[in-house]
């Protein structure tokens, strides 16, 4: 499955503690049906990177209506 062009949003705009939202983490370049469905239904995708053994949010994506 090929990853489509995604709408990148500011990582700082994502409130991971807010209730009632769907947030899925992914690796750079990863793409599958679960990620596609999450994105298509308004969920937020967080691309996680690893730097010296510590993970951090590199990019965030969310489909805009």
- d(Cα 2, Cα 53) in Å, to the nearest integer? 28
For the chain, give every domain's residue range: 1-11+22-54
Q: Tens of pLDDT along 23-44? A: 999 999 999 999 999 999 999 9
Specify the pTM.
Answer: 0.91
- CA–CA distances in Å: residue 14 to residues 2, 9, 28, 50, 53: 25, 8, 18, 19, 23
Give the mean model confidence (pLDDT) for residues 46-57.
Answer: 94
Give the mean model confidence (pLDDT) for residues 46-53.
Answer: 94
Read off the pLDDT band of 65 (50, 70, 90): confident
Which ranges of 1-65 would DSSP assign to H, the alpha helix? 33-40
pLDDT > 90 in the chain, percent: 89
């Amino acid at each position: 499955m090929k990853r489509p062009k995604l709408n990148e949003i500011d990582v700082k705009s994502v409130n991971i503690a807010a209730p009632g939202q769907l947030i899925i983490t992914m690796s750079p370049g990863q793409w599958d049906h679960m990620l596609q469905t999450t994105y298509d239904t308004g969920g937020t995708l967080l691309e996680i990177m690893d730097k010296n053994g510590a993970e951090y949010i590199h990019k965030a994506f969310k489909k805009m209506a």
